[in-house]
Amino acid sequence: MSKRRSDWESRPQARFRKWYKEGFLALDNEIIDHLTRTTELPENIEDRLIAQQEEMTSRQHERTLALERLDQYNMLAWARTRGRKAISRLYVILALALGAMMIFFLLETVALMPRFGDPATPGANIVSERYITKGLEETGATNIVAGMILDYRAFDTLGESTVLFIAASAVLILLRIDRNKDGSPVQELIAAESDDRHYEPRNDRILQGSAMILTPIIFLYGIYIILNGHLSPGGGFSGGAIISAGLILYLDAFGFDKAGRFFTYKTFTWVSFFSLSFYALAKAYSFYCGANNLPSGIPLGTPGAILSGGLIMPLNIAVGMVVACTMYIFYALFRKGGL
Amino acid sequence: MLDWLRFILTTGFLISGLIILLTSVIGLYKFDYVLNRMHAAAMGDTLGILFCLIGLTISAPDIWVALKLLLIIAFLWFASPVSSHLIARLEVTINPHWQQLPPKENAGEEEAP
């Protein structure tokens, strides 16, 4: 019999029930505790009242106080025991219902989606057909996505880069701590500098050693992704993010003093300014020529070669520089309020 | 024959890597203390990913893909232990009682607050 019982208890269903009920065991104990206490408290007080008649008035006062407290306790008792139990049950049920609902809706959405490569979808219209058939010929980029975002829809990408630049400027306005007019640091800046990495390991040899090896490799990889953006997946945004990760690693390992030697506000300003203005001017020239049916004079090169794709590679470089500077300056501003 | 050998090796490495990753995830959620949890997470980040990537390297269609995967293994084995070391050093720096056992109050709080 006991073996059968233990067999039943080791079943997953029984174990799930045990797990589900164990959470309420403590609450059950609390309810029992509460019920026993309410019966004992007034009886004790009444016994003492009978025994000591001369202290009647003070005892009476005590008793009323105790009863008041008891009333208050009883008033909140539901919320303390049964209410909490109901709410925790409700949480479990709601969590399960929400999870089931999410799963149901996601599966429903997947089931309603068109088959992969279906020609009858609204997305497969004349525009995407033109991208696929004539993209290589018109843009010179083997990576069709690069050809799309930096040639057909270059205006959109300019907007994205500008949004990044504006976000960085807004964060700069909000978080930057200025110095005094004579160049001496204000109190806030001193506090921020002493607070920066108050507890963190400051000059960690292991981190510095690995950063010395890893940072150049990360930079090289980011540059490769940017320069190869028109040939393989990648491009300015992802390459710029990788370069900024390398910059942040260097900053973490060696601190603001060493990172400030090559990256200051001036660097940020000029790099962003030149990248964005180059982007805007180059694309304005290209749009102007395209709209008026003029020859733009930009050679497309042989598809697949590194120097091909017309303006795509320089535009990738510009976008990558803006992204790298923006992400790095975000990190520096949120950490210390300055470079 | 060689294809079958490759398939078996790939599957074995991938499954053992996934088991180690699962172990590390369970440990990450079961343990209470920072250093224990860091140990569990670091184990998944190094050994589990190493096994998974070795499995993918064996099944790679091209020698260049395999070399790139080996480079990823080298990068992860550089980066992950260093991050674990930084977490451990931060804990040792800010917690003066790190050598004592962690208090049991966390376990009690969840059952009966």
ipTM computed for the complex: 0.78
pLDDT for A311-333, tens place per residue? 888 889 999 999 999 999 999 88
Averages of pLDDT over runs of 10 residues in chain B (113 residues) are 91 95 92 87 91 93 91 90 88 80 53 41
Specify the amino acid at residue A117: G
Per-residue pLDDT reduced to its tens digit, A80-93: 777 888 888 899 99
CB-based burial of residue B100 (10 Å sphere; 0-12 exposed, 13-18 middle, 19+ buried)? exposed
Q: Which of B82, B93, B112 sits opposite A206 (nearest CB)?
A: B82
Q: DSSP of A185-206, one letter per residue?
A: PPHHHHHHHHHTTSSS-SS-HH
What's the DSSP call for residue A122?
T
As to burial, measured by CB atoms within 10 angstroms (0-12 exposed, 13-18 middle, 19+ buried), residue A64 is exposed
pLDDT in tens, A232-277: 888 889 999 999 999 999 998 888 888 888 888 888 889 999 998 9
Contact B75 A217 (CB under 8 A): yes
- Give the separation between CA A177 and CA B26, rounded to whole angstroms: 44
A30 near B CB under 8 A: yes
Inter-chain contact A206–B85, Cβ cutoff 8 Å?
Answer: yes
- A229 within 8 A of A146, measured Cβ to Cβ: yes
Annotated domain spans of chain A: 2-112, 126-336
Q: For tokens 């790099």, name the residue.
A: A271
pLDDT exceeds 90 at position A204: no
A84 neighbourhood in chain B, CB within 8 Å: none
Cβ within 8 Å of residue A197, ≥6 positions away: none
Q: Do the Cβ atoms of B75 and A199 come within 8 Å?
A: no
Cβ-nearest to B89 among A27, A29, A201: A201
Q: Mean pLDDT across chain A, nearest whole number?
A: 82
What distance separates the 2 farthest-apart alpha carbons in chain B?
62
Which chain A residues have a beta carbon less than 8 Å from that of B86? 201, 204, 207
Choose between B68 and A120: higher pLDDT.
Answer: B68
Contact A155, A291 (CB under 8 A): no
Per-residue pLDDT tens over the stretch A34-59: 777 655 555 666 666 667 666 777 77
Distance CA A196, CA A331 (A): 13
DSSP string, B35-103: HHHHHHHHHIIIIIHHHHHHHHHHT-SSHHHHHHHHHHHHHHHHHHHHHHHHHHHHHHHH-TTTTSPPP
Runs of H (alpha helix) within chain A: 2-9, 12-22, 25-51, 56-80, 82-112, 126-139, 144-147, 154-175, 187-195, 205-227, 236-259, 265-291, 312-336
Beta carbons of A30 and B112 less than 8 Å apart: yes
Which positions in chain B touch A248 (Cβ < 8 Å)?
none
Q: Which residue has the tokens 């009978």?
A: A50
Residues in Cβ contact with A135 at an 8 Å cutoff, skipping those fewer than 6 apart: A141, A144, A147, A148
SS3 state at A265:
helix
